């Protein structure tokens, strides 16, 4: 790919789904410009690049926008295909990878939003146990592999890893310990954070927690 490619990411620093795109770009060694968005006062650029959903992340590649985090990750994998493939080549294995990334979206991402908009005292009723069971299911799928992608980071890892910096927040709000309840997932996060593409793409868990508390106060649940 030519050195004069223009790659811009419209994102917000704390977004777990924005971090997916950052990890994917880092894995592929793609240089890009990060433009922090204000979601309370959406910019003309964001509205122009994602008129349908008006959300981040949006990848702008040579002026053309791609929206929805997993759609963006697949796009990155297909464009910068000569390095660090994220999806396997076998169609059945690809379907399994897509299934588990979709599972992360349906169960972890969606519940994460619920956790953020629910008072501490209502978290049990809002499905705290289901959330932890979901994490245990992910542990089962990981098995003995170092990554969901096998020996290297793959599509499912990219979908899931941003939560490594959000687990501290969820532990505090839900009052549980990832290390105690999901030791394998905890070890997986630590292992992945040793990779530069991951550690450089994720944010400090304590900063995320401060951000989460401020947002929860603003939403009236804290």
Q: Of the two residues 143 and 194, which places its CB atom closer to another protein in the complex?
A: 143
Q: Of the two residues 79 and 116, which places its CB atom closer to another protein in the complex?
A: 79
CB of 95 to another protein, least distance (A): 4
> Are 50 and 67 spatial neighbours (Cβ–Cβ below 8 Å)?
yes
Residues 6+ positions from 61 with CB-CB distance below 8 Å:
5, 6, 7, 75, 79
CB of 98 to another protein, least distance (A): 5
> Are 34 and 15 spatial neighbours (Cβ–Cβ below 8 Å)?
no
Q: Of the two residues 17 and 165, which places its CB atom closer to another protein in the complex?
A: 17
Q: Of the two residues 5 and 204, which places its CB atom closer to another protein in the complex?
A: 5
Q: Of the two residues 73 and 173, which places its CB atom closer to another protein in the complex?
A: 73
CB of 72 to another protein, least distance (A): 7
Residues 6+ positions from 44 with CB-CB distance below 8 Å:
none
List residues near another protein by CB under 8 A: 52, 61, 64, 66-68, 71-72, 74-75, 78-79, 91-92, 94-95, 98-99, 102-103, 137
CB of 4 to another protein, least distance (A): 18
Q: At what angle do helices 167-174 and 205-219 cross, to 10 degrees?
A: 50
CA distance between the termini of the chain: 48
CB of 18 to another protein, least distance (A): 17
Quote the CA–CA distance of 181 and 71 in Å, as a whole number: 32
């Amino acid at each position: 790919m030519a050195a004069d490619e223009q790659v811009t990411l419209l994102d917000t620093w704390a977004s777990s789904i924005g971090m997916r795109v950052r990890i994917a770009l880092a894995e592929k060694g793609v240089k890009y410009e990060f433009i922090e968005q204000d979601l309370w006062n959406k910019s003309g650029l964001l509205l122009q690049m994602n008129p349908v959903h008006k959300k981040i992340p949006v990848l702008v590649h040579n002026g053309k926008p791609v929206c929805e985090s997993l759609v963006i990750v697949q796009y990155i994998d297909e464009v910068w295909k000569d390095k660090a493939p994220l999806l396997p080549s076998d169609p059945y294995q690809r379907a399994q990878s897509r299934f588990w990334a979709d599972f992360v979206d349906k169960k972890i991402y969606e519940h994460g939003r619920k956790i953020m908009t629910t008072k501490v005292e209502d978290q049990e009723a809002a499905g705290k146990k289901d959330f932890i069971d979901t994490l245990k299911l992910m542990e089962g799928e990981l098995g003995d592999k170092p990554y969901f992608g096998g020996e290297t980071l793959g599509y499912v890892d990219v979908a899931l890893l941003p939560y490594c910096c959000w687990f501290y927040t969820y532990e505090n709000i839900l009052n549980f310990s990832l290390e105690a309840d999901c030791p394998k997932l905890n070890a997986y996060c630590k292992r992945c954070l040793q990779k530069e593409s991951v550690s450089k793409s994720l944010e400090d868990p304590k900063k995320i927690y401060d951000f989460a508390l401020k947002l929860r106060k603003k939403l009236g649940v804290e």
